Amino acid sequence: MRRSTRLFEIIQILRAASAPVTAETLAAKLEVSVRTVYRDIAALQAQRTPIEGEAGIGYLMRRGYDLPPLNFDAEEVEALWVGLSMLARTGDSTLQQAADRVCRKIEALRAPADWLQVAPWGAPVDDPAKGCVPVVTYREAIRAEQKLRIAYVNSRGERTERVVRPVALIYHIECTMLAAWCELRGGFRHFRTDRVWSCDPVPEHFHGQGQPLRAIWQEQDMWEDTADTA
């Protein structure tokens, strides 16, 4: 979790608390050390955030404190709410957690649009405990322009291992597809992420090639053919 996100979460936790919250409790919720919480509290207090208390006793937010309003009108808030809620259908657990944080920020500033509901059914959550490769692995590799070694089983049950250069993610309702330049096939291929049995970063990058590869992929009208082409 980024420091800016962590500071916001501390503010939210303290605003909702009716009794002093100890540094140990904050550390457990944020999954950081107590020392990190002490530093974050000190940083917030230095920014004149009205947090009262001290180490060993607990912390409280002075009543009446609020965050600056976002410049979103009612329909923009509703559009954000629906869009963020639909992330639950992608199966991308890391994006879902980020969406939950954004929704809490919206709720902190405006009344929640909880009367707009999105059905949760869609792609299964990428739970590593069930053997799934987290979708965040592909997003990180795309950003870093890092090659991946994957073991893939296609719709016919055929297993192959290959090195790919990931260029894009395509979120369908029922699954997520990874678009990549496949070094085994010598061309673009699409991989259902729920059929990737293993995925490991290769200590080799393709710096500077990501955007050109995406442009070629889009020129080939690959949006029209995102079937299991591996």
3-61 and 128-224 share one CATH topology?
Answer: no
Nearest Cα residue to 16 out of 67, 63, 54: 63
Of all residues in the chain, what percent are helix, strand and coil, respectively (each to 5)? 40, 25, 35
Segments making up each domain of the chain, as ranges: 3-61, 67-122, 128-224
d(CA 126, CA 131): 8
State pLDDT tens for residues 128-183.
777 789 999 999 999 999 999 999 998 889 999 999 999 999 888 788 899 999 99
Q: Of 134-143, 157-166, 184-193, 221-230, where does mean pLDDT reach its minimum?
A: 221-230
223 token code pair: 């949006």
d(CA 117, CA 108): 19
- Residue 182 CB neighbours (<10 A): 20
Average pLDDT of the chain is 84
25 token code pair: 């409790």
How confident is the model at residue 223, as a pLDDT? 58
The CATH code that applies to domain 3-61 is 1.10.10.10
| Secondary structure (3-state) at 18 | coil
CATH match for 128-224 among 1.10.260, 2.30.30, 1.10.3470, 2.60.40:
2.30.30
Regarding pTM above 0.85, the answer is: no
Q: Is the pLDDT of residue 219 over 90?
A: no
